[in-house]
Amino acid sequence: MEDQLLTPRFVSNDVGKSTKTLSAWRGVGTGPPSVKVGGSVRYPRGAYYAWKRQVITETLRGDGVVLAG
């Protein structure tokens, strides 16, 4: 089964950051993995949740980077 693709708006709401911040993260190669589909940015669901778990784990351990934006 193909991975569901999440919209920037969904991810923005889920992480509590603006879509503009997500765009800035993509520009510097940080943030959740994304793909372009027909000119639109999307976030593969599985990769997004893996990224989110990693950020939470690193934050709880104290070695995570605080995501600004």
Amino acid at 30: T
Let me know: does 31 contact 20? Beta carbons within 8 Å.
no
Q: What is the pLDDT at residue 58?
A: 77
Alpha-carbon span 2 to 13, nearest angstrom: 23
Residue 66 has pLDDT above 60, yes or no: no
Report residue 1's pLDDT band, with 50, 70 and 90 as the boundaries: very low
Q: Are residues 42 and 5 in contact, defined by beta-carbon separation less than 8 angstroms?
A: yes
Task: Identify the residue with better confidence: 68 or 2.
Answer: 2
Per-residue model confidence (pLDDT) at position 52? 93
Give the 3-state secondary structure of residue 8: helix
The pLDDT tens digits for 38-57 are: 999 999 999 999 999 988 87
| Amino acid of residue 33 | P
